[in-house]
């Protein structure tokens, strides 16, 4: 004997690499669920909470950040992370201005610090914290110097 419930609730997460595609996917979800419900003699309500937007690493800024990080930390300490569908509040900035989201590696295989983020065994190599503030300041100074006028040039122009 089958029991058919009066109500069904489904939840999920949708992460994408493109805002336009995400909007289209939401519309597809709405149309598909409405069609399935109608074909079954039922009704449905679809509530989509649009979380964080897609994170855009702008190529020019990312190149500048990578160059600055390589200068500060050394080429061997800098690598590109694989693309993934993170849910990140920083993404909101990247929708407004050219931006680069970078990761600070805090693991250390030699010390046995290898657990992933959001796991019960997550730990960090605290030595990484020594480099983080200096790296951020260095990147900021390099980006600012690439877009500003030197004091000597400003005096000559006045």
DSSP annotation string for 22-80? HHHHHHHHHHHHHHHHHHTT----------S------HHHHHHHHHHHHHHH-GGG--P
Is 52 known to be catalytic? yes
Which of 19, 52, 88, 93 is catalytic? The answer is 52
Residue 44 CA neighbour count, 13 Å, CB half: 19
Is 88 known to be catalytic? no
Cβ neighbourhood burial of 135 (10 Å; 0-12, 13-18, 19+) = buried
- Chain-centroid distance of CA 29 in Å reads 24
Contact between residue 43 and residue 7 where contact means Cβ atoms under 8 Å apart: no
Which of 27, 38, 80, 126 is catalytic? The answer is 126
Which of the residues are catalytic? 52, 126
């Amino acid at each position: 004997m089958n029991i058919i419930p009066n109500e069904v609730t489904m939840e999920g997460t949708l992460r994408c690499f493109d805002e336009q595609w995400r909007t289209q996917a939401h519309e597809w979800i709405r149309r598909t669920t409405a069609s399935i419900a109608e074909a079954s003699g039922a009704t449905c309500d679809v509530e989509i909470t649009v979380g964080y937007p897609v994170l855009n690493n702008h190529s020019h800024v990312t190149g500048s950040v990578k160059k600055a990080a390589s200068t500060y930390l050394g080429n061997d300490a800098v690598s590109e992370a694989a693309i993934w569908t993170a849910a990140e509040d920083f993404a909101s900035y990247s929708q407004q201005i050219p931006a680069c989201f970078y990761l600070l590696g805090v693991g250390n295989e030699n010390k046995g610090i290898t657990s992933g983020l959001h796991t019960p065994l997550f730990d960090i190599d605290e030595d990484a914290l020594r480099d983080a503030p200096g790296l951020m300041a260095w990147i900021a100074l390099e980006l600012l110097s690439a877009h500003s006028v030197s004091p000597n040039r400003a005096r000559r122009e006045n």
